[in-house]
């Protein structure tokens, strides 16, 4: 289901202000750089969504998400 919607995960990180990517390792999106400690933490989401094209994938991760803001491209997996 990678690339369908960003998936909320149970992790937090300093709020990211930069998305440098993974370089030559992967085309997947990576937003974990440039921590902004003047605000609350960023909620981690993984996987990317349908708008990201090659940027969506198993290594896609983003910590620049305000946990109180609703997005229509975010979801969560229901599994046991």
pLDDT tens-digit readout, 2-20:
678 888 888 899 999 999 9
| pLDDT (mean) for 18-32 | 91
The rounded distance, in Å, linking the Cα atoms of 37 and 77 is: 29
Does the pLDDT value for residue 67 go beyond 60?
A: yes
Instruction: State whether residue 50 is helix, strand or coil.
Output: helix
Q: What is the overall mean pLDDT for the chain?
A: 86
The rounded distance, in Å, linking the Cα atoms of 79 and 20 is: 32
Beta bridge partners of 45: 8, 62
| pLDDT (mean) for 50-63 | 88
| pLDDT (mean) for 32-59 | 88
Please state the pTM of the whole predicted model. Answer: 0.81
The rounded distance, in Å, linking the Cα atoms of 48 and 28 is: 8
């Amino acid at each position: 289901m990678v690339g369908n919607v960003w998936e909320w995960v149970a992790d937090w990180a300093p709020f990211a202000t930069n998305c440098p990517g993974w370089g030559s390792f992967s085309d997947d999106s990576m937003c974990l750089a440039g921590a902004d400690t003047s605000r609350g933490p960023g909620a981690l989401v993984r996987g990317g969504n349908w708008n990201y094209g090659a940027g969506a994938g198993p290594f896609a991760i983003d910590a620049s998400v305000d946990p109180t803001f609703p997005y229509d491209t975010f979801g969560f997996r229901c599994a046991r």
